[in-house]
């Protein structure tokens, strides 16, 4: 079998990956703009809480994480796939991310916070408005449905 040619020159991939932001991503900014336009006020990336939630709404005692499907291993999502090269490194890293997320969510819930996760695939254009409206309802409307999705993307 022939090896697939490398897409990047040596060292370029590492440089490219090092520039992926951890906060103020486009999907995070989109969610914040929507919530602000609906009159909700929040703190962003508050370091006082486990996991530095993307959005903290103290009035509603709710935190929101806006997760990329790849980096947080969204199960059943087409946007998550395991890289074909350096599989051992990537699987360990992504599994560590998933376990860290679970521990942080459990810690926040133990502190009495409601945790809501918004996935990148839920913000695709065809379903974006419906998801943002559902998020607002989960926060302000007292929605009693589970805040953290358990399966595949909607």
Tokens of 121: 């695939």
pLDDT > 90: percent of the chain: 60
pLDDT mean across residues, the chain: 86
> Does residue 149 register a pLDDT over 60?
no
Angle between helices 125-140 and 26-37 (to 10 degrees): 50
- The CATH number assigned to the domain holding 115 equals 3.40.960.10
> Which contacts qualify for 52-56: CB closer than 8 Å, 24 or more apart?
52/23, 53/108, 54/23, 54/28, 55/28, 55/31
Query: Residues 127, 65, 143, CA angle at the centre, nearest 5°?
Result: 65
Structural domain contains residue 10:
no
Domain coverage including residue 137: 27-141
Residue 13 lies in a domain: no
| Residue 3 domain flag | no
- Does residue 15 lie within any of the structural domains? no
- pLDDT band with cut points at 50, 70 and 90 for residue 86: confident
Please indicate, yes or no, if residue 76 is contained in any of the structural domains: yes
Which of these, 23, 24, 51, 56, lies nearest to 40 by C-alpha position?
Answer: 56
Is residue 8 included in any domain, yes or no?
no
Q: pTM for the complete prediction?
A: 0.79
The CA-atom distances, in angstroms, between 125 and each of 30, 65, 122 are 12, 19, 9
Residues 6+ apart with CB under 8 A from 89: none
Q: How many domains does the chain have?
A: 1
């Amino acid at each position: 079998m022939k090896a697939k040619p490398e897409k990047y020159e040596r060292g370029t991939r590492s440089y490219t990956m090092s520039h992926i932001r951890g906060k103020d991503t486009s999907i995070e900014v989109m969610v914040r703009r929507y919530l602000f336009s609906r009159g909700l006020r929040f703190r962003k990336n508050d370091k006082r809480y486990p996991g530095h939630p993307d959005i903290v709404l103290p009035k509603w005692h709710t935190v929101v994480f806006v997760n990329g499907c790849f980096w947080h291993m969204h199960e059943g999502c087409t946007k998550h796939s395991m890289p074909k090269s350096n599989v051992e490194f990537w699987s360990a890293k992504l599994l560590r991310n998933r376990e860290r997320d679970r521990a942080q969510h459990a810690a926040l819930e133990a502190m009495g916070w409601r945790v809501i996760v918004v996935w990148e695939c839920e913000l695709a254009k065809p379903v974006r408005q419906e998801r943002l409206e559902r998020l607002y309802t989960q926060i302000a409307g007292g929605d009693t449905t589970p805040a953290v999705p358990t399966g595949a993307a909607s």
